[in-house]
Structure 1
């Protein structure tokens, strides 16, 4: 999931938009996630302005927007669906289970051909279940290796390009007394992200994209975690907190305090570090023989439920949501990456988006979680629970990855 901070539960009832042409307005209910870190920049303000602009030209549809924190939003939607009160639209973290249960409209039933064609191809593909797109990407991000420029300068280091250089840099940082030479967050909060970035850097991943199956215990992945266990964790280069107990949020906070030499991060870490006066650089994740060509990508999803039968109205509103100026406004407001090619082109060239350029460059070739598989939710939870044990004292990467593969295969069979 893309990073979020605030915890609001505010419902805004906004009036008058539509495509029906009838006298009785249709009401669309949208549940959305909050990307802000305070009431002042809550996503509620974004949706308020967007709906107000839409309603001026569409007097026959009302749009009710409820904004919740990421802690609550997926649960809220599930509760609504379970109670047979599904919203018309939901902007949340996962769609596959609802698609499998035949509760969603397809993108082609909703969107104009232009809107569909504008999505970045790998994001549109990640929104598909068995070749049919149900999840419409709404926000995205990629991961890069962040490094503390001051700590690197003090140690006479250049940013690493290979695993060997990363290890050497971590050893030098440790010798200088850096608390976390390389922060390796494999705790339960977001272990699946750190894991995937490392698997990609070793030439592997969660799935074999050609065969379309899980490949968690493939030799490349075992080799990657063997290296992590022996060369980083085993050499005491990851800091005082065991990776299985270190969460992403805690690693990020330590970086903003100047206690981390290197870690994988996404765009929101930039502002947090800048606010604390930490000077940082960003480079592609080092690989075994050179910089990783494929970064990990993440997307959050928009979906439309069929229960209320408002495909025409929902589709017209979504065409507006995905207009270039609206995608650009949202992306810039929250330092997120755009999900459409026209806006990616704009941001890749604009001076005001220069700070996002490394992430933007990584997006077109990024690889996303296998979110189109209904099995992914269970596999994801199992990775968070177990992967830290692969690098723990006495742990065995091949055994842990094998157990994860067995669980993934079992869940896949049950789909």
Structure 2
């Protein structure tokens, strides 16, 4: 596979799929077009990329793909520079994190793909957690590529020992089941006090928001009754284990805690099972998965969706060819291939059956249908830099006044999202 080596020290992005709508005609001359694609490290396997490149070029004889693998570290600066670059070597297609699209739109330089996404890509079935952050002020700039979200990983042996043979259908059943598992030295669940992505899902499940946009002005909204109800549920669940109140899920790594065999459940992505089994091979084959339960019986709860969108810089000199590459990557054929190869969630709810044979990915796909992303403010990164949501969670879990702590955190979010602070 042809990979162009970049001299720049920082990095960027990803790739995937084609369905029943035919490819666009990309020119009638004998000259071959080169489409430069920036994809992120580990977003797709080498084997997938080699297969995609070989078959795409065979089906589109006048196109060469130049796929360059980038790293996530420092990606923001590098993409920003690429969007402002008029050089012929600038990329034509870029993989970006789904929550980054609004920031790049605000900086300028992304191509509006609304017509293509509505006409040819079946956007009515896109996962909301990828499609919504890719849309800014009614225009679609990011085309969903792949998704991943949290599920509940559980220890099958501990469930069996507790006589639990049915998985919870809703939040109240989840609490009751977890309480049964929380005995002696055994934790019903390990949930760190500052796992704010998990909290976000509980808030959305109640109908609340982290922040709201009114006429272009963003403000924090953790102090609404719905958001407070989400925090209350988090507190009830977190109390059924021994997770720290003042640290996140990486301090210590919750996979290491689960690997000791005394924790019945954690909330994480399915891929964490591999880390657990590496730490404790005795747990191999003893880890199960189920979607995070929602308030309504039989319906998965709302979750934070991570993943990637594909974008095209306005300065591309291969606009139509770049659009055709995205149509391939975002279409059913390559979406199914990517999902089964990488244990991802495909970009459409109608493609969910592609991962039915994989229990972890199947559980993840159920949740993804109700997935969300962080607020689409271009300044959301400023919130995460000194995250007041984490501080708010610790205050509440430590016995502080929830309403007062929520008002303070909401005020801090509002200040961070204020464009006048730039």
Residue 200 of structure 2 is aligned to residue 196 of structure 1: yes
8 A contact 1:18–1:62 mirrored in 2: no
Spell out the pairing of 1:5-404 with structure 2 (5 A cutoff).
19-35=26-42, 43-71=45-73, 73-74=75-76, 76-78=78-80, 80-81=82-83, 86-93=90-97, 94-108=100-114, 113-117=119-123, 119-120=125-126, 122=128, 123-157=130-164, 159-160=167-168, 166-178=174-186, 180-187=187-194, 191-207=195-211, 215-226=221-232, 228-229=234-235, 231=236, 235=239, 237-239=240-242, 241-247=244-250, 250-272=253-275, 276=281, 277=284, 279-286=286-293, 293-298=300-305, 299-344=307-352, 346-347=353-354, 352-353=357-358, 356-364=361-369, 366-381=370-385, 382-383=387-388, 386-393=391-398, 395-404=400-409
Deviations 1:346-382 (A, max 9, x none): 427xx53565333333333x13114533233223442
Distance in 2 (alpha carbons) for counterparts of 1:43 and 1:217:
43
SS of corresponding position for 2:247? helix
Q: Is the 8 A contact 2:150 2:267 kept in 1?
A: yes
User: 1:354–1:106: structure 2 CA closer, same or farther, 3 Å change rule?
Assistant: same
What per-residue deviation string (whole Å, max 9, x for no partner) do you get for residues 135-171 of structure 1?
1111113433232221122233464456565555545
Q: Could you say which structure has the greater relative contact order, defined with CA pairs below 8 angstroms and 6 or more residues apart?
A: 2
Scaled by the length of structure 2, the TM-score of the pair is 0.76
- Where in structure 1 are there 5+ consecutive unaligned residues? 1-7, 12-16, 37-41
SS at match of 1:373: coil
Distance 1:278 1:258 in 2: 13
How far is the alpha carbon of 1:96 from its aligned partner? 1.0
**Aligned pairs, how many?**
388
**Cα deviations by residue, 1:98-151 (Å, 9 ceiling, x for unpaired):** 112331111236558222446516243332101111111111134332322211
- Alignment partners' CA distance in 2, 1:162 and 1:57: 48
Name the Cα RMSD after superposition: 3.8
Matched residue SS, 1:32:
strand
Quote the Cα distance in structure 2 between the aligned partners of 1:166 and 1:338: 27
Runs of 5+ in structure 2 lacking a partner? 1-9, 14-23
The 10-residue stretch of structure 1 (165-174 or 369-378) with the greater mean CA deviation from structure 2: 165-174
Residues 200 and 263 (structure 1 numbering): CA distance in 2 closer, same or farther, change over 3 Å? farther
Cα distance in structure 1, aligned partners of 2:357 and 2:295: 34
CA distance in 2, matches of 1:340, 1:165: 29
CA distance in 2, matches of 1:119, 1:254: 38
